[in-house]
Amino acid sequence: MTDQPTYDAQQIQVLEGLEGVRKRPGMYVGSTGSRGLHHLVFEVVDNSVDEALAGFAKKIDVMLHTDGSVTVRDDGRGIPVDTVAKVGKPGVEVVMTMLHAGGKFGGGGYKISGGLHGVGVSVVNALSEWLEVEVRRDGKRFEQRFERGKRVSALRVAGKSDRSGTTVRFLPDRDIFVETVFDAKILAERLDELAYLNAGLVLTLADERSGESWEFKHSGGIAELVKTHNKNKQPIGDAITIRRVRDGIEIEAAVQYNAGFLEHVFTYVNTINTIEGGTHLVGFRSALTRSINDYGRRQGLLKDIALAGEDVREGLTAVISLKLPDPQFEGQTKTKLGNPEVKGLVESVVGEGLAEFLETHPGDARKIVAKATQAARAREAARQARDLVRRKNALDVSTLPGKLADCAEKDPTKCEIFVVEGESAGGSAKTGRDRHFQAILPIQGKILNVEKARVDKMLGHEEIRALITALGTGIDKDFDFDKRRYDRVILMADADVDGAHIRTLLLTFLYRYMPVLIERGKVFIAQPPLYLVKAGKKAHYAYTDLERDEVTADLSKQNVAFEIQRYKGLAEMNPEQLWETTMNPQTRTLLQVELNPNGANGHGDVDLLFRTLMGDEVEPRRQFIQKYAKEVRNLDI
């Protein structure tokens, strides 16, 4: 028996001050990558926003410096500099060096706040190589410096000041963060969002590295935000705005419908984006469903139809913003609100506001009810289509599509499926594949653009039904990741314009109805070669124009004659070539499809891209093409 390591009281570590933050930074800022890096700035900005929420700050400036540091400055009251009796240190030092210290607990300093329960700025300090704070208040300017969370200089009076506010400048610790370069776009998205959520507040961003600067101010608040989201979606009527204070909680909502089929609801608590929703979202949805049903029945518009929640949310864009004294968030990252009393308050306030709008805007009200009624009929048609698929699956001997060439392996984690453009290329892929773990599903022609179609029409499309059945996960609310039949979904299309279009249509379907596959990194794009360069009996495959030129230049030096074949389609390769270049795990190249995790609204950037490129509106697509035309590198004409 080997010696066991000793485990006694000497092995118990006590981490003092902010050491625990440096030991486990991911617990406090989410990651040591780009997400955590930018979270540092958001924490400092949130503290300044709290001053705005309290009615003191009017302007917040963020500056990105060439040395990698960042400055956040506000014109609020300034962090207190007098001594905290309990610890014998100035207030600013306590806030910067002690977890769970701040003015947000007793209710005296702030009635409402979005800061990280008093954890925020001290965590930023702990994870910075250095942090300098300047406080302007009481006619004086105070300064103090910290390094890796520890005080290196005492708070000192550096001069006089006729203004008030706080300035924090810090350099993220390169020993902790694997990503240390700030992305101005990520910061701009959040500052813009904060400007919508705090009508009248001015936020600026200056990037010394590029010389660019931006100013964000939205006097229209969240109603303006809803209109911005609906700008290219054929809005139905004007935005419905609701704002009331009930039991000390400020409840604000903006609602507007559009001609599309998707629901976009964004919820905030004290300016924090609660991306997982919570009790405020539950209350809002209940009020919406009840109000529209009540109005429709009173006006005789529904007859025997009862609108479900999903019916009244089709084509809905809404923002719910709450400001409350004691938010109870689930988890450190504050993505879900848990206050039980909030549900009833939001339901009551939103219900009153919606009822008032519907009664006073009968034209818009009838359009909203008509749209929800159409959604209900489509939902019933989709249910019948699903039932038909299930009944067929139960009766058929084989539940899988006839065109699918399945693999022998039964463990999904060891299997992959190639979704191949065209029957001919599918035939080559079936012959050239490794039948043990590779399945092939040929797709004939361009599939339905699901961005422009309701679910009932989508389920009636033969190629999409074959894909749904083959993957086995189900779609949308019925999606079950654990029921997947393959661990990798590989899209394989021709290297031309039609192939790119088919690949985009497939990605649109996967993003809209099976997004978890993309989120978990299970969707890939095959990379077939563009060229075959033959020199005698030798064959060289080139995957880019540059690679082709390098091969031909090398052969020219050797004074070897060659010929170049441009592959326009997968079917031009025989099964052996397709296996060798595109399907063999030992030699192939795959591109993994990923989502941008840093958008202000989660999937916001990706969602906008699909709506712009695949939606009904022509104008935003034209503007997109004009904006990015100069960046095109590979144009197949």
Catalytic position from the list 421, 451, 463, 607? 421
> How deeply is 55 buried, as exposed, middle or buried, from its count of CB atoms within 10 A (0-12, 13-18, 19+)?
exposed
CA distances from 217 to 60, 165, 168, 197 (A): 11, 20, 22, 10
Backbone angles phi, psi at 452, to 5 degrees: -110, 5
Is residue 311 part of the annotated active site? The answer reads no
DSSP code of residue 352:
H
The residue type found at 335 is T
Catalytic position from the list 496, 519, 547, 605? 496
Spatial separation of the C-alpha atoms in residues 621 and 627, rounded to whole Å:
10
Spatial separation of the C-alpha atoms in residues 542 and 555, rounded to whole Å:
13
Beta strand segments in 406-557, E:
416-421, 438-443, 488-492, 523-526, 531-535, 538-542
Is residue 498 part of the annotated active site? The answer reads yes
Instruction: Give 3-state DSSP helix, strand, coil % of the chain, rounded to 5.
Output: 40, 20, 40
Place of tokens 């207030």: 91
Spatial separation of the C-alpha atoms in residues 33 and 125, rounded to whole Å:
17
**Token pair of 4 as six digits:** 């066991």
Is residue 496 part of the annotated active site? The answer reads yes
3-state secondary structure of 557: helix
* SS3 annotation, 225-260: HHHHHCCCCCEEEEEEEEEEEECCEEEEEEEEEECC
Catalytic position from the list 134, 173, 463, 494? 494
Place of tokens 């500052």: 191
Among 216, 223, 217, smallest CA distance to 200 is for 217
**Token pair of 291 as six digits:** 């109000």
Is residue 456 part of the annotated active site? The answer reads no
**Token pair of 323 as six digits:** 């400001």
In contact, 95 and 39? CB cutoff 8 Å? no
> How deeply is 113 buried, as exposed, middle or buried, from its count of CB atoms within 10 A (0-12, 13-18, 19+)?
buried
Spatial separation of the C-alpha atoms in residues 249 and 309, rounded to whole Å:
26
Taking only Cα atoms into account, the Rg of the chain, rounded to an integer number of angstroms, comes to: 29
Catalytic position from the list 498, 519, 554, 617? 498
Catalytic residue set: 421, 494, 496, 498
